[in-house]
Structure 1
Amino acid sequence: MKTLDRPRSTATTGPPREGTRAGKPFWTSRRRDQLAGYLFIAPQLLGTVVFVLIPLGLVVWYSFHEWNVLAGTFHSVGTDNYRKLLDDPKLPGVLRATAYFSVGLVVLNLSLALALAVLLNQKLRGSVVFRTLFFSPVVVSLVAWTIVWGFLLQKNGGINAGLDLIGIKGPNWLRSEGTSMLSAIVVQCFKNVGLNMVLFLAALQGVPRELYEAATVDGAGRWRQFWRITVPLISPTILLTSIITVVGSLQVFAQIAVLTQGGPSGSTTVLVYYLYQQAFTFHHFGYGATLSVLLFLIVLVLTVIQWQMRKKWVFHES
């Protein structure tokens, strides 16, 4: 017997439930995942807004004003601080000292860190102890580290005492224009070289051993293996450490303040220390804010340049 199909009703069985749209639930799994993601990044986002974006905006705003805390005056000066920046006779020397410090620190730090990482990556006895020794300065207080080195680098300090034992008369490291900048670079390098060393060491341990074995079969020496295999494969880590070191070198302050106070004759007055002098010694807060904007732009430009250059020399980025 042939059965008759019942006509399908096109009417809805009832009004949509609350929290739904056209009969579909509002809290789908995709929206729940999105909400969870936003909640996870909310603390970091809030911290970035409160401690980075808002202070940066205030610094830019202060750079168009002059604020004298001692006199209790605060008034707008327009672009006078930026014109003062262009006409400042001390600024070229400050930028030159900053460039010397940054270039010297980056070259010395990265070279030494990579050399130590390559050495400690070998199967040598006691390598774990040496890793700990080289990394331990990273966790030491920066001020305490600098004060100790300040005593060692005095004219009658530990460094010159050691040189006297082998018949060498050491200079006054921190009071001579020829050695003061070098001393500050070395102190900062030894403070943070362990961090870059650990990063390089982790990258080296990720390089497949089969590549070295194949290169050895093909007759490639250790030096050729280093430039053709090691450097390309750890180039992302080289990029990371170079950005970290460049930014850190431009923000150095405690070492200069404790070791040389910008001397002798301003030879170690880097941009951050000069900013500090203008804002907190001479109480020119508006001009100090202008120097802060200049520092921010320098860091931003250098970081962008390094990031764009990665396409040419970072492995897998071309």
Structure 2
Amino acid sequence: MSISTAVPVGEASASPTGPPGGRARFAWTTRRRDQLAGYLFIAPQLAGSLVFVFLPLGLVFWYSLHEWNVLAGTFEYTGGENYSRVLDDPTLRGVLAATAAFSTGLVVFNLSLALFLAVLLNQRMRGTVLFRTLFFSPVVVSLVAWTIVWGFLLQDNGGVNGALQLVGVDGPNWLRGDNTAMLSVIVVQVLKNVGLNMVLFLAALQGVPADLYEAASIDGAGRIRQFWRITVPMISPTILLTSIITVVGSLQVFAQIAVLTQGGPGTSTTVLVYYLYQQAFQFHQFGYGATLSVLLFAIVLVLTIVQWRMRRRWVFHES
């Protein structure tokens, strides 16, 4: 005879997936352990970004809505007055023009020279390792030391004019001429950082399959046609990367201007970052300086987005 056991009504039976009463027990699965490990790994970077990136950006925007006089100890809310001043500032137009001229010259000369050097050093010739080291060494040199040395070389009686006098050329005062000051700063910056882009281009060139060049040679394509039809499309992702890095870096230049020209002659080499520094730390107009910082951030953001959106038109494998 079988004996049946009755379960009282309202009393839940124990299940393997949860405790009595129907409440599910937290399952410490492998997936959740992996997720927790991932969050712990990114926590230091996330905390650093919040403290040193997003919080300062928020404070800069907050300061741009105020007039902060450190010497007088005043901090007054002005609303959009600083932004109206940006639109009416007559000096700012020349500053933006100088910034555009510097950025354009730096990007064009830097990328062109870096790609030219990378193509040359990608050939199988003697001494390529030595020349790679020679062109890359300025990248690891202190920026201030590099700029100070070039400041002495570009003086009226400096080393550059001394070398020109050996061939009968009377050189100008490079850092004090209206037409030569900006060019001098651009050349100094190009020589400082061209090695970094050269190494990036060289790595990209070494990843291009040799079979493509062999097939193009069989079809009768010359070196120039191979360069434009094979080399440039294959390394276009690296070109995009270097262009974004160079554009952003050109808009943040400060030490070169401060050491070489101090924004002169006049305001011909006063770029936006140096003008921001003058307003905030020389004239103690921190509210207006913060507003210029917001303007700089907006310019960098817009240019980066434009370059990223245009990649689909010319970057290989992008659609």
- Provide the residue aligned with 1:3 in structure 2: none
In structure 2, distance between residues paired with 1:230 and 1:60: 44
Which amino acid in 1 is paired with 2:100? A
- Provide the residue aligned with 1:307 in structure 2: 308
Give the TM-score normalised by the residue count of structure 1: 0.94
Q: What is the Cα deviation at residue 22 of structure 1? A: 3.9
**Aligned pairs for 1:35-114 within 5 A:** 35-114=36-115
- The one-character-per-residue Cα deviations of 1:244-280 (angstroms, maximum 9, x if unpaired) are 0000000000000000000001100000000000000
- Alpha-carbon spacing, 1:21–1:137, altered in 2? closer, same or farther (3 Å): farther
- Provide the residue aligned with 2:251 in structure 1: 250
Structure 1: 4+ residue segments shifted above 3 A: 9-18, 20-23
Give the TM-score normalised by the residue count of structure 2: 0.94
- Provide the residue aligned with 2:268 in structure 1: 267
- Provide the residue aligned with 1:135 in structure 2: 136
Which amino acid in 2 is paired with 1:16? G
- Stretch of structure 1 that moved more, 245-254 or 122-131: 122-131
- Alpha-carbon spacing, 1:34–1:171, altered in 2? closer, same or farther (3 Å): same
In structure 1, distance between residues paired with 2:23 and 2:219: 67
In structure 2, distance between residues paired with 1:136 and 1:277: 32
Which amino acid in 2 is paired with 1:118? V
- Provide the residue aligned with 1:16 in structure 2: 18
Percent identity at matched positions? 77
**Aligned pairs for 1:115-264 within 5 A:** 115-264=116-265
Q: What is the Cα deviation at residue 11 of structure 1? A: 4.9
- Alpha-carbon spacing, 1:239–1:12, altered in 2? closer, same or farther (3 Å): same
- Alpha-carbon spacing, 1:14–1:164, altered in 2? closer, same or farther (3 Å): closer
Counterpart secondary structure, 2:90:
coil
Q: What is the Cα deviation at residue 12 of structure 1? A: 3.8
In structure 2, distance between residues paired with 1:292 and 1:253: 13
In structure 2, distance between residues paired with 1:173 and 1:217: 50
- The one-character-per-residue Cα deviations of 1:99-125 (angstroms, maximum 9, x if unpaired) are 000000000000000000000001111
In structure 2, distance between residues paired with 1:32 and 1:133: 49
In structure 1, distance between residues paired with 2:23 and 2:293: 52
Which amino acid in 2 is paired with 1:261? Q
Q: What is the Cα deviation at residue 34 of structure 1? A: 1.1
Q: How many residues align?
A: 311
Q: What is the Cα deviation at residue 15 of structure 1? A: 8.4
What are structure 1's unaligned runs of at least 5 residues? 1-8
Q: What is the Cα deviation at residue 200 of structure 1? A: 0.4
Q: What is the Cα deviation at residue 13 of structure 1? A: 5.9
In structure 1, distance between residues paired with 2:23 and 2:259: 66
- The one-character-per-residue Cα deviations of 1:26-55 (angstroms, maximum 9, x if unpaired) are 211111111111111111111111111000
In structure 1, distance between residues paired with 2:15 and 2:199: 66
Which amino acid in 1 is paired with 2:68? W
Give the root-mean-square deviation of aligned CA atoms. 2.0
- Alpha-carbon spacing, 1:165–1:21, altered in 2? closer, same or farther (3 Å): farther
Contact 2:17 2:24 in 1 (8 A): no
In structure 2, distance between residues paired with 1:159 and 1:151: 9
